[in-house]
Structure 1
């Protein structure tokens, strides 16, 4: 059985809001796997969806550039190791150069984008700052009405693509996507494996026990429909006017959402969190043995 560390318990508590002993027990039963522990807790107690893991491997910034006629746009993520470097003027100037080249070339291949001058500049900046810097991803959206939004801390950026409507509406929808983070555009777009996993969790919850199969099915479908609406852009209450759903906002303007791209700094990458005091103690211990 995997050892249950304090950091595992801390992460599970932060993501679920449950007590320390309950989290520790759940982690033991899941052999130290936080995601499995969350799934088991949801099955056993009806716990709502947990927060996403907050440990991200990379800092840095995201940025967006949209053409003057709103016919296409580019979104990029450039990573540094710390937020201190992400605020450095030299780093931010480098990001702008990368963005400008990606925009000019409509280039989504990072290796091709960085080949030559930009890669030389990246290496020089790494030498100067002393941190690793990498261009992680680039996306180009073209056609229809395009606009974008970058959150004030440069950690979340979105480009939206509309059929019909105006650029201002596209930007409003991009702001909504940045704030609410929908998984898909329409309920029917939700991947089947995600729906199947959610059904499995709902069926295993305590209030389903002992009920006839047809009642379980009816209750499950009601909860699935709610899950799909909450995760679908067009079904979400618009962040600037919760009385109106995003789909209705768009149809009122004779517009429809074609696609959106949302980048959040470091999403999907895990970063080992090291306690500074423990790190120093380990270094002292190691040096005393040498």
Structure 2
């Protein structure tokens, strides 16, 4: 087994944000393999987050983010369990990142369970018609629709979108990591996104 050096522990800490002792344990458990140690910490974080998911989160922050010189505005409420965590820089930075995500990626819902049944049914109809127009065989259309529906959820559901600051992870994975790091359940409760002139009829030229 490779010797676990202080430099390795420091690198793992910088890459994951986990505590020094957790980083050392992860490296020892994976024989000094940096990538496996990252996976080890992520899995541990997922397990910790799953345990906390059912806990009541009634504290938190409502944040406002204005972008593009006042052309786009976002209001978002993110809850945690205690006022102590709500006041930490890390939690507030996370909330700001979520507001920026909403401004940039235009989600319509927080999670796929929030998407109304009639919206899903309409999307399936459109996708099936598209596949038929492309000349796809009847027997594979349903499979194609399911695949494209997954893409639809990734576009319109905040938690399934790639995180704008690190597209290798989803917003859900970012949320899970924050729950593990801050030690409390965190819930993105609701948001509103406003874009200047959205929904207004544009004046027609001569």
TM over 0.5: yes
With CA pairs under 8 Å and 6+ residues apart, which has the higher RCO, 1 or 2?
Answer: 2
1:211 maps onto 2:138 in alignment:
yes
Alignment partner of 1:163 out of 68, 79, 83:
79
**1:157-184, Cα deviation, whole Å (9 max, x unpaired):** 1011112262221111101100110111
| SS across alignment from 2:76 | strand
Alignment partner of 2:196 out of 262, 265, 268:
265
Alignment partner of 1:146 out of 35, 54, 62:
62
Query: Based on CA coordinates, which of the two structures has the bigger radius of gyration?
Result: 1
Any residues of structure 2 matched to 1:138-287 within 5 Å, and which? 144-164=60-80, 166-205=91-130, 206-207=133-134, 209-212=136-139, 215-254=140-179, 255-275=186-206
| SS across alignment from 2:194 | strand
Any residues of structure 2 matched to 1:21-40 within 5 Å, and which? none
Gaps of 5+ in 1: 1-141, 276-290
What is the distance in 1 between the residues matched to 2:110 and 2:121? 19
Q: TM-score, normalised by structure 2?
A: 0.59
Any residues of structure 2 matched to 1:79-98 within 5 Å, and which? none
Structure 1 residue ranges (4+ consecutive) displaced by more than 3 angstroms after TM superposition: 207-210
Contact 1:162 1:257 in 2 (8 A): yes
**1:202-261, Cα deviation, whole Å (9 max, x unpaired):** 11122454422xx32222112112211221100101111111211111121112211111
Contact 1:236 1:245 in 2 (8 A): yes
Gaps of 5+ in 2: 1-57, 81-85, 180-185
1:188–1:208 Cα change, 3 Å: farther
| SS across alignment from 1:144 | strand
| SS across alignment from 2:70 | coil
What is the distance in 2 between the residues matched to 1:235 and 1:216? 24
| SS across alignment from 1:183 | coil
Any residues of structure 2 matched to 1:128-139 within 5 Å, and which? none
Aligned to 1:75: none
| SS across alignment from 1:253 | helix
Q: TM-score, normalised by structure 1?
A: 0.42
Any residues of structure 2 matched to 1:15-54 within 5 Å, and which? none
